[in-house]
């Protein structure tokens, strides 16, 4: 059996520099600066704690840090741009110049993204794929920011009502292509776009597993770098014996392994120390079977 191919891409970053994707899978550490994050046993509710956590992620081997100020878990209450900015901007400003790795802003709001990019973030991770705030594409285009477009349907409170698929991979491909077209029409160069198939978003567990299993097909059809975020999500709950989110790292490790073996360019995780080891081992297996 040959190794699943992983095409290489060079993604230009805001403020200069390039993110080289495909030479090895990169680890994106999740830094949720929210009081209601679903996956942390102890939420990072102060800038000081968040800054300490980000520096620890870098020391533990993270390649990027993704800073978010609003929970987007299913059923979460939306947060206004002003409150979200108040959560993330002090953290990004404090980390800029201290972290040697790129900072990503996890937001779907144009106002928050622009402020974060000006504060030092170099990448925008939009869980809505431009569905919630189409003006975000214009911000990314104007400031030269790479854009992660995630597949989803509906808002947090209604997304599971739209989790109906005849062919989940084919529909994810088609809908991500639509989101890419929206971004490029707004002026975002194709070379700055990364896609995320959206495990757990508007998908029942079988859909998320199906997407993960068919990741090579999705990556080949879209021809953009692929970010995969399985960490501690609800589709892993049964495999984890019903354990709460913060206790699903063993199941997460299996999903991360599958993502790497199937050619993911970036994996987004909470437990950086452990998942860096998982990624390295899985990538060694991927290369050996080639």
CATH of the domain at 14: 3.20.20.20
Q: How far apart are CA 120 and CA 51, in angstroms?
A: 14
Answer whether residue 4 is part of any domain: no
Residue 139 forms part of a structural domain: yes
Structural domain for 81, as ranges: 9-288
Task: Report in angstroms the alpha-carbon separations of 83 from 79, 88, 112.
Answer: 7, 9, 10
**Structure tokens that stand for 253 in this block:** 């490790």
Q: Please give the helix or strand (H or E) that residue 286 lies within, else none.
A: helix 272-288
Q: Is residue 274 part of a domain?
A: yes
Token couple for 83: 């409150």
Its pTM stands at 0.95
Task: Tell me how far CA of residue 250 lies from CA of 69, 131, 236, 267, in angstroms.
Answer: 26, 33, 10, 15
User: What integer pLDDT is reported at residue 290 of this predicted model?
Assistant: 72
| 47 located within any domain | yes
pLDDT on residue 45: 63
Active-site positions read 233, 268
pLDDT at 39: 54
- Enumerate residue ranges in the chain where pLDDT < 50: 1
186 in a structural domain: yes
Neighbours of 125 (CB within 10 A): 27
Task: Look at residue 1 and tell me if it is in a domain.
Answer: no
Q: What's the number of domains the chain is made of?
A: 1
């Amino acid at each position: 059996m040959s190794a699943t191919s992983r095409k290489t891409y060079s993604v230009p970053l805001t403020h200069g520099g390039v993110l080289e994707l495909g030479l090895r899978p990169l680890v994106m550490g999740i830094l949720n600066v929210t009081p209601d994050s679903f996956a942390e046993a102890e939420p990072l509710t102060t800038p000081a704690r968040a800054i300490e956590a980000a520096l620890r992620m870098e020391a533990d081997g993270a390649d990027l840090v993704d800073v978010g100020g609003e929970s987007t878990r299913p059923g979460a209450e939306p947060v206004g741009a002003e409150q979200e900015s108040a959560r993330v901007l002090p953290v990004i400003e404090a980390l800029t110049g201290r972290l040697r790795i790129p900072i990503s802003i996890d937001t779907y709001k144009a106002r928050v993204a622009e402020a974060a990019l000006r504060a030092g973030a170099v990448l925008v991770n939009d869980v809505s794929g431009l569905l919630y705030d189409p003006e975000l594409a214009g911000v990314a285009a104007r400031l030269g920011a790479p854009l992660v477009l995630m597949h989803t349907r509906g808002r947090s409170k209604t997304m599971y009502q739209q989790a109906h698929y005849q062919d989940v991979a084919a529909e994810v491909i088609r809908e991500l292509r639509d989101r890419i077209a929206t971004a490029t029409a707004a002026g975002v160069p194709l070379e700055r776009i990364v896609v995320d198939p959206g495990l757990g978003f508007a998908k029942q567990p079988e859909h998320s597993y199906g997407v993960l299993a068919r990741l090579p097909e999705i990556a080949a059809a879209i021809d953009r770098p692929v970010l995969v975020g399985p960490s501690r999500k609800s589709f892993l709950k049964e495999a984890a014996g019903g354990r709460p989110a913060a206790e699903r790292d063993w199941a997460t490790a299996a999903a991360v392994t599958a993502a790497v073996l199937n050619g993911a360019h970036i994996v987004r995780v909470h437990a950086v120390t452990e998942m860096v080891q998982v990624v390295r081992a899985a990538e060694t297996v991927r290369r050996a079977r080639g």
